[in-house]
Amino acid sequence: MVLPLLIVGVSIIVFGLTRIGGSPIGIYLSHEMNAEEVAELEEKFHLNDPVPVQYYYWASGVLTGDLGWSGVAAAPVTDVFPDKLAATMELAVASAIVAVSLGIGLGTFAGARRDRAPDHITRVVAISGAAMPLFWFAILMLIVFWVGLGWFPIGRSDPTIYGRIAHPTGLYTVDALLAGDMGAFRDAIWHLVLPAVTLGYGATAIIARMMRSSLVEELQEDYVDAARAKGLAERLVLRRHARRNALIPTVTVIGLSFGFLLQGTVVAEIIFRWPGLGRWMADSVLRGDQATIMAYVLFTSVLFLFVNLVVDVIYAYLDRRVVLGT
Amino acid sequence: MTAGKPGLRRWLAMILALAMIAAACTSADDEGGDTTAPSDDGTTETTAASGGDTDDGGDDATGDTGDSDIKNPGLLVHAADDEPLSLDPAGVEPGEGGETVILQVYERLLEIGPGGPELVPGLATEVPTVDNGLISADGLTYTFPIREGVTFHDGTPLTADDVKYSWDRVMTMSLPESAADVLNDIVAETAVIDDYTFEVTLQKASAAFLNTAVVGMVSSIVSQDAVEANGGIVEGEFNEFMQGNMVGTGPYELAAWNRGENLQLSVYDGYWGTPANLDVRIEIGSTPDVRVLGLRAGDYDTIEADPSFIGEIEGAEGVTIFGEGLTVEPIHIGFNLNIPEGALPEEDTIPTDFFWDPKVRQAFNHAFDYQAFIDGALGGFGDFNPHYIPQGIFGYDPNAPVYDAPDPDRAVELFTEAGYCPEGFTASVITEEANLFEVAALVMKDSLERLPCNITIRVLAVAEAQFDDAHAQDPIEYAMWVKNADPFADPHSYVSSYQHPDGEWGEVHGFANGYADPEAVAELIDAAEVELDPEARAQLYSELQFLLYDDPMWLIAGQEGVVAAYRSWVQGWTSNPLWPRPSIKFALMDK
């Protein structure tokens, strides 16, 4: 019951805020329109009504699957949204894989070697990831790996490869696998590397830091000493006991990091020419495309709540003291 | 735990090696004593001293490319600024990204040639003149002999029926965002005389008809069969099929449009004229920085650029910079002579009839630091523009007086005579934020506040959508605003929109309130519109330019220069500011 209320609350706040910036009519206008045509548009989109009435029309539309017209995409929001969403999710998931695998790996590696050189280096890497502005790091990656070395491309796919397979899911990696085309799969991965590593690096830093400190704490616990005392190999002490418990707070951070990744997709998509929600959103903000902005806000609110729900479930799995539903 | 040490060493060695490789590769552009050589055709090419030669200055900017490994042979990759919203000539908004593609895929009866403003036959075999009998003596009837043997991309043959259908379609649909009024305002009737003869009757004689209506993207010829098979014509409604598909007669056909990613054009094998050399991929959505990087990487062959790019591109190996000629979209600051009572921001102290006094408008023009704007905002790529007939357009009189240098003493004198100095005033100017327009507003603020007159100019820099909203109001609720003009090929379009007291902006801004003699201005513009003798017409525009120096309705900050950058391996690169941005035709290029 709380979740729908939260979503409604967020949508009301954002709707109100977008209207403070002025009427959304600008996105629909062209200099060729006369005053009558402008008035017709205002009437069509209910822009002369009070803001609560406008919100009512927007919310009614959402319930019937109509998210409005995107002036930036020149198409209904619902037509464009699935493809953009697929592009963003593919990038966010790839980034999350990078962030989680590297973050947990590096955190474990550093935590197990506390205050020794590997620990210090890992911490430097982690802190630099968190400290570097994403847009700067992204440009740096492009200069080195695209312009300088020519190892990785920009964009989402090679157009010649894109055209040879069907795209039922809009996730190019999945589409390529469904089509059994390994060339297309490699191309999709190849295009994913730069944006995913760039985006994932910032989150890697946060996860690695959390994993390291949790692991260091866990390794000082009595049960670890007990495990060592009973003769368990250090590797097993680490994997079976300390790391599992150290993951509990880390998972919470991973959930929050997904929000960071979604937020980061805006910058990453703009710089890496990735045709996802983030870039669409940025264009929409700049051009005042309020229908798109509202759709994005609605989506991210729902997604964020869903991710937190998933985190709670995983939390319960990792920490047997937590019981869901109570 | 000594076991970790060798691993650490391996890591360090790897990181070091990667860093060295990266450093070696990224510094390649800056080493080797690059040479930058300007050539006679306005291009500047930079090649590595060790391997390349500089451009030999050919007319079409060709020459030794200085690049031995041409990327993407057979394909021209162009990085565009924005994505088309519509590919339908009947629906595209002038100046919008769709016009770029329409120029390449569709054709018109006449085209603007690559060398300048002259018209060349397109789908019509001759340019109508009174002399060749294709314009009637009264200037009302134009006859177009249609080229035979032309086929659309769907294989159907072009006939005069398609031409009539295309023009009638635009006028029937009459979409508000389109340029349909270009036809609606002038065409009385269209007729098919025979399969290969098309005739247009005008509402009144117009010397501007060919240069405005016939060559405009809105007048592109579409396949009647394709449209009828996909929704036909509905009055006031856009055609969804035509928004995203193209069936024209041009050297390119639309191969694919992956929205948000790229738009691909393939060479049309059945083209009636000189075939294109390269397939084209238009990459969509790159930021300016990324476009520059892509050009440097060689992944992009041509990019949309502006003067602010030059610093980043200069010195890049294998890249040619073109900086010659002027765009035909003067950057102007509009004076509002039609301010509604109580509408201005509360900080403004000017009366509603502030700009009715020509002394005030002259004072603004005398105060503005034009050179600072051109040198700063335009990076030196620009020129002064006198009175709304841009340089490069027929009728521009180089002898007409120009506001080109600040004359603060004269400005103070005029403000004093008008009663605003030393008492001063506060006025606001609204502009889009973070672009050339905001800089123009800031230069004006700086120029006027420097005068000993207690003047305060408030620059209201807002988001594009917010500006568009304010700009579309009638009347506008601000004293001034900054924007650029729409590009046209004929002087009448400029003066009718921007100077005529009953024109588009004349009505919105209330020019009739300010002109010393509004009827004289209107008569000159109206007379020039119907004057078919070029010399006499040029004389009328010259008179108008002299008159408007004393009675300015705008402050024209400057005329932006054409700036572009492309890989030196691209041959045949030609720019014409009268073509839709980025003012290039892909079919002329090779590599």
The answer to whether B74 touches B589, Cβ cutoff 8 Å, is no
Q: In a 3-state reduction of DSSP, which class is residue B347?
A: coil
Whole-Å CA distances, B136 to B185, B199, B205: 19, 11, 10
Record: contact A146-B466, CB cut-off 8 A: no
pLDDT digits (tens, 9 = 90+) for B327-347: 888 999 999 999 999 999 999
Least Cα distance to A161 among B264, B244, B245 occurs for B264
Q: Residue ranges of the alpha helices (H) in chain A? A: 2-20, 35-44, 51-63, 77-111, 117-131, 134-141, 159-162, 172-179, 182-218, 222-229, 234-236, 243-271, 277-287, 290-318
B98 found inside a domain? yes
Buried b / exposed e over B532-559, threshold 16 CB at 10 Å, is eeeeebbebbbbbbebbbebbbbbbbbb
Strands B262-267 and B279-283: antiparallel
On whether the CB atoms of residues B364 and B415 are closer than 8 A, the answer is no
In a domain, A14, yes or no: yes
**Chain A, window 132-161: residues with a beta carbon less than 8 angstroms from a chain B beta carbon:** 139, 142-144, 146-150, 153-157, 159
Asked if B215 and B336 sit in the same domain, the reply is no
Per-residue confidence (pLDDT) for residue B51, from 0 to 100: 33
Q: Can you tell me whether residue B252 is helix, strand or coil?
A: strand
Q: Which of A32, A80, A287 sits opposite B464 (nearest CB)?
A: A287
Res B17: pLDDT: 54
Tell me the C-alpha distance between A195 and A273, whole Å.
9
Interface contact A271-B290, CB threshold 8 A? yes
Q: Is the same domain home to B56 and B142?
A: no
Give the total number of structural domains in chain A.
Answer: 2
Q: Is A137 exposed, middle or buried (0-12, 13-18, 19+ CB in 10 A)?
A: buried
Pair (A26, A152) in one structural domain: no
- Is the CB of residue A271 less than 8 Å away from at least one CB of chain B? yes
**Residue A186: predicted pLDDT:** 95
**A138 and A223 both lie in a single domain:** yes
End-to-end Cα spacing for chain B:
60
Q: Are A113 and B1 in contact (CB < 8 Å)?
A: yes
Task: Identify whether residues B354 and B464 lie together within a single domain.
Answer: yes
How far does the CA of residue B308 sit from the closest CA of chain A (Å)? 18
Nearest CA in chain A to B483: A31
**Contact flag B261-A156 (C-beta cutoff 8 Å):** yes
Order the strands of the B197-202 sheet from edge to edge.
B141-145, B197-202, B187-194
Q: Are A158 and A100 in a shared domain?
A: yes
Tell me: do B345 and B319 sit in the same domain: no
Kindly identify which residue of chain A lies nearest to residue B265, measuring between CA atoms: A159
Q: How far apart are CA B493 and CA B487, in angstroms?
A: 9
For B4, the closest of A27, A34, A118 (CB atoms) is A118
Beta strands B302-304; B75-79: pairing state: parallel
* Residue B2, pLDDT score: 39
Question: Considering A66, A89, A113, which residue would you say is the last residue of a domain?
Answer: A66
CATH label of the domain that carries residue B579: 3.40.190.10
The answer to whether the Cβ–Cβ distance between A288 and B296 falls below 8 Å is no
More confident of the two residues B163 and B31: B163
pLDDT for B45: 58
Average pLDDT over residues B288-311: 88
Distance from CA of B466 to the nearest CA of A (A): 6
- Three-class SS state of B424: coil
Specify whether B188 is located in the same domain as B302. no
Q: What is the pLDDT of residue B350?
A: 97
pLDDT band at B20 (very low <50, low <70, confident <90, very high): very low
Put simply, whether B4 touches A (Cβ < 8 Å) is: yes
- Which residues contact residue B86 at a Cβ distance below 8 angstroms, ignoring those fewer than 6 apart? A74, B92, B93, B96, B98, B238, B243
Query: B67 pLDDT band (50/70/90 cuts)?
Result: low
CA distance B248 to B223: 6
Nearest to A30 by CA among A62, A71, A68, A66: A71
Full domain range(s) for residue B156: 92-237
Measured over the CA atoms of residue A289, residue A291, residue A297 and residue A300, the dihedral's sign is: negative
pLDDT reported for residue A213: 86
CA angle, corner B526, sides to B525 and B530, nearest 5?
A: 115
Averaged pLDDT, B458-471? 86
Domain boundary (B237, B270, B286) is at B237
The values of phi and psi at residue B367, to 5°, are: -80, -30
Q: For chain B, how many structural domains are there in total?
A: 3
All residues of chain B having their beta carbon less than 8 Å from the beta carbon of residue A154 are 286, 290, 294, 299
Rg of chain B on CA atoms, in Å: 26
Q: How far apart are the first and last CA of chain A?
A: 15
Q: Are residues B262 and B320 in the same domain?
A: yes
The answer to whether the beta carbons of residues B257 and B263 sit under 8 Å apart is yes
Question: Is the domain of A36 the same as that of A130?
Answer: no
Same domain, B303 and B334: no
Question: Is B176 in contact with A155 (Cβ distance < 8 A)?
Answer: no
* pLDDT greater at residue A35 or residue B521: B521
- Residue B144 to residue B197: CA distance in whole angstroms: 6
Residue of A nearest to B433 (CA): A286
- Rounded to whole angstroms, how far apart are CA atoms A18 and A55? 11
B575 lies in some domain: yes
Q: What is the CATH number of the domain that holds B523?
A: 3.10.105.10
Residues of chain B neighbouring A33 (CB-CB closer than 8 A): 176-177, 472
Q: At what angle do helices B4-26 and A117-131 cross, to 10 degrees?
A: 40
- Answer with the residue of higher pLDDT: A50 or B585: B585
Asked whether residue B425 carries a pLDDT value surpassing 50, the answer given is yes
On the question of pLDDT at B581 being above 50, the answer is yes
Report pLDDT for A60. 86
Q: Which of B186, B172, B177 is nearest to B490 (CA)?
A: B186
Min Cα distance B97 → chain A (Å) is: 12
Q: Which residues from A are below 8 Å from B303, CB to CB?
A: none
CATH number of the domain that residue A121 is part of: 1.10.3720.10
Q: Measured between CB atoms, does B383 come within 8 Å of chain A?
A: no
Phi, psi of B575 (to 5 degrees): -125, 140
Q: What is the residue range of A96's domain?
A: 79-289
- Please indicate, yes or no, whether residues B261 and B281 belong to a single structural domain of this protein: yes
Q: Which residues in B lie closer than 8 A to residue A30 (C-beta atoms)?
A: 93, 176-177
* Residue B543 placed within a domain: yes
Beta bridge partners of B145: B197
Q: Tell me how far apart the alpha carbons of residues B563 and B377 are, in angstroms, rounded to a whole number.
A: 13
Indicate whether A157 and A216 sit together in one domain.
yes
Residue A295 belongs to a domain: no
B179 touches chain A (CB under 8 A): yes
- Asked whether residue A173 is domain-assigned, the answer is yes
Which residues 5-24 in chain A show a CB within 8 A of chain B? Answer: 21-24
A207 close to A254: Cβ distance less than 8 angstroms = yes
| Residues B384, B518 within the same domain | yes
Mark whether B360 and B487 lie in a shared domain. yes
- Per-residue pLDDT 10s for chain A (326 aa) are 677 787 788 888 878 877 776 667 766 766 566 677 777 777 877 877 888 888 888 888 888 888 888 888 888 899 989 999 999 999 999 999 999 999 888 888 888 888 888 888 888 888 888 888 989 999 999 999 999 999 999 999 888 888 888 999 999 999 999 999 999 999 999 999 999 999 998 888 888 888 888 888 888 888 888 888 888 888 888 877 888 888 888 888 887 787 778 778 889 999 999 999 988 988 888 777 888 888 888 888 888 778 778 878 887 777 777 676 65
- B291 interfaces chain A, CB cutoff of 8 Å: no
Determine the pLDDT at residue A8.
Answer: 82
For residue B284, what is the nearest residue in chain A, using CA coordinates?
A273
Closest by Cα among B456, B458, B481 to B468: B481
Contact between chains at B262 and A155 (C-beta distance less than 8 A): yes
Q: Say whether both A18 and A84 belong to one domain.
A: no
Q: What is the DSSP letter of B485?
A: P
Residue B407 within any structural domain of the chain: yes
| A118 and B CB contact within 8 Å | yes
Predicted confidence at residue B254, as pLDDT, reads: 97
pTM, entire model? 0.81
Statement to judge: residues A16 and A147 lie in one domain: no
pLDDT of residue B256: 92
Residues B336 and B428 in one domain: yes
Say what the pLDDT of residue B36 is.
42
CA distance B294 to B427: 43
- Kindly state whether residue A73 falls inside one of the protein's structural domains: no
User: Does residue B19 form part of some domain?
Assistant: no
What residues contact A182, with CB distance under 8 A and at least 6 apart? A176
Q: Do B297 and A146 touch (CB under 8 A)?
A: yes
**B347 and B426 inside one domain:** yes
Q: Are the Cβ atoms of B181 and A32 closer than 8 angstroms?
A: yes
Residues A100 and A28 in one domain: no
State yes or no: pLDDT of B145 exceeds 90.
yes
What contacts 24+ positions apart, CB below 8 Å, involve B53-59?
B55/B320, B55/B568
DSSP states of A247-301 as a string? HHHHHHHHHHHHHHHHHHHHHHHHHTT--SHHHHHHHHHHHT-HHHHHHHHHHHH
pLDDT confidence of residue B177: 82
Whether A155 and B93 lie within 8 Å, measured CB to CB:
no
